[in-house]
Amino acid sequence: MTVVVFLFLFVAIYFYLIFGGADFGVGILELLSSREHKKVTKKIAYQIIGPVWEANHVWLIIVIVIMWIAFPNYYYIITTQLHIPLTLLLFGIVVRGTAFVFRHYDAVTDGSQNIYNKLFQYSSIIAPFLLGISAGALIAGKLIPVSEIENHSFTEAYIMPWFNITSLLMGIFITSLVAFLSAIFLVGETSGEEQRLFIRKARKANISVALSSLLIFGYGFYAEEVFIDHFFDNILSIFLVLLAASLLVPIWIYLSKGKKVLIRIIVAIQVFLMLGAWAQSNFPELIITTEGPVSIYENMAGEAVINSIAYALLAGSVLILPGLFHLFKAFGLFKALQTPDTK
């Protein structure tokens, strides 16, 4: 049953990165657009993410619940030493959702609409950046072992674990990635000049993803980070990353041709390969502290708890996943799959 729990944890992270990431990315694309293009992106955002944006956070809730119940040691390390970026992340999600609703449904149209627009746009870029920073902190090697926290200052224990170059570069990478994912989704939901607009945005975001990933590896080499050793000691992880990089060729080819279905499938596979490479290279030592890696099996919940949560996840998936699929399908998220490529 432990395998079932790990599988659900991986899938929940993957789906949140795909669907939640594309959700965040709409705001980033809107923020970085010209005034004319802002209106286009805003209009499409309501059509695509308006009915489903709350559902995207189901995956984040699943991750939190699994970590809290099954892996309390990891949950404690993450929620205590990263409480600052995580609190700001949750605040950004709330502000973003509130602004998204008010700028669309506010009965009074006045100057407040500009405030809602700014709140939505800036929280859309801040939230994934903080998410990336938190993810980077897990491999940056600055986290303090639980038994040693009381021997360190507030700055050492609660600031430096996430305020470092590796974490900041990871923040840029995740922000670029979600912007790219959003552009890919919007390519599949548009046509004509609007589609060409999002193709250009997808290319720019893809370049940013590639450059930021190279910076992460480059700095990892320079600083002799532990995660670099883990990566190059694992042949399968190297293969997965090279395979993901090779998909850049068909991505750019199909972007040029406006292939709506193929481009989504390839990008989803690419993200899966990158996430899989990270998991493969570090598992089971997914957190790296100043004293070395910490295994996720350390102080893991007992067998009875693991079995209970595994059965609950299996039962919940039977009830929830069909509903989520129907929700996405009903409101057009899979419209590209219903309209065959013609180019």
Residue 310, pLDDT score: 92
**Does a cis peptide bond (omega within 30 degrees of 0) precede residue 51?**
no
Residue 69, pLDDT score: 93
3-state helix, strand, coil in the chain (%, to 5): 80, 0, 20
Pairwise CA distance, residues 216 & 51, whole Å: 36
Contact 226, 293 (CB under 8 A): yes
Residue 327, pLDDT score: 66
Block means of pLDDT (10 residues each) for the chain, 343 residues, are 92 91 88 79 70 73 93 93 95 89 72 85 94 94 88 92 95 95 84 84 93 94 89 92 93 83 90 93 90 89 91 87 71 52 52
Domain residues of the chain, as ranges? Answer: 2-338
Residue 52, pLDDT score: 60
Q: pTM for the whole thing?
A: 0.90
Residue 222, pLDDT score: 92
Residue 66, pLDDT score: 94
Contacts of 244 (CB under 8 A, 6+ apart): 270, 273, 274, 277
Residue 109, pLDDT score: 67
Pairwise CA distance, residues 38 & 104, whole Å: 14
Entry field: residues in the chain? 343
Residue 108, pLDDT score: 64
Residue 328, pLDDT score: 66
Element (H, E) at 288: strand 287-289
Residue 335, pLDDT score: 53
Residue 80, pLDDT score: 93
Helix ranges, 159-259 (H): 165-187, 192-223, 226-232, 235-246, 248-257
